[in-house]
Amino acid sequence: MPQITPLSADTLPALGRFDTPTICNAIELFEFRPRNTGFMNGSIKACFPKMPPMVGYAVTSTFRSMSPPRSGDVYASMSQQVESFAGLPGPAVMVYQDLDDPVISATFGEVMCSVYKGFGAKGLITSGTGRDLEQVENIGFPTFTSGAICAHGYCHTLAVNVPVTVGGICIYPGDLLHGDLNGVSTIPHEIASEVPQVCEELAAAEKVVLDYVRGTKLTSAGLAEARNACTAMMAATTKRVSRKRG
For the chain, give the mean pLDDT. Answer: 95
Q: How confident is the model at residue 71 (pLDDT cuts 50, 70, 90)?
A: low
Gap between the terminal Cα atoms of the chain: 34
Chain centroid to Cα 119, Å, comes to 19
pLDDT of 3 reads: 75
DSSP per-residue codes, 193-228: GGHHHHHHHHHHHHHHHHHHHTSSS--HHHHHHHHH
pLDDT of 4 reads: 83
What does the pLDDT look like over 78-112, one tens digit per residue?
999 999 999 999 999 999 999 999 999 999 999 99
Res. 146: pLDDT tops 80: yes
Percentage of the chain exceeding pLDDT 90: 91
Three-state DSSP at 187 gives strand
Three-state DSSP at 192 gives helix
What type of residue is 104?
I
Res. 68: pLDDT tops 70: yes
For residue 7, give the DSSP letter.
P
Three-state DSSP at 24 gives helix
pLDDT of 51 reads: 98
Q: Give the residue from 56, 48, 12, 15 showing the smallest Cα distance to 141.
A: 48
Average pLDDT on 204-213 reads 97
Across 14-36, b (16+ Cβ under 10 Å) vs e yields bbbebbbebbbbbbbbbeeeeee
Asked if 148 and 82 touch (Cβ cutoff 8 Å), the reply is no
Q: How confident is the model at residue 186 (pLDDT cuts 50, 70, 90)?
A: very high
Q: Kindly provide the residue ranges of all beta strands, DSSP E only, lying in the chain, ordered along the sequence.
A: 45-46, 54-64, 92-98, 106-108, 124-126, 129-130, 143-145, 156-160, 164-166, 169-171, 176-180, 183-187
Q: How many helices (H) and strands (E) in the chain?
A: 7, 12
What does the pLDDT look like over 2-61, one tens digit per residue?
778 889 999 999 999 999 999 999 999 999 999 999 999 999 999 999 999 999 999 999
pLDDT of 5 reads: 83
State the chain's maximal CA–CA distance in angstroms: 71
Q: How confident is the model at residue 246 (pLDDT cuts 50, 70, 90)?
A: very low
pLDDT of 245 reads: 58
Query: In angstroms, rounded to a whole number, what is the distance separating the alpha carbons of residues 46 and 38?
Result: 17
SS (H, E, C) 225-242: HHHHHHHHHHHHHHHHHC
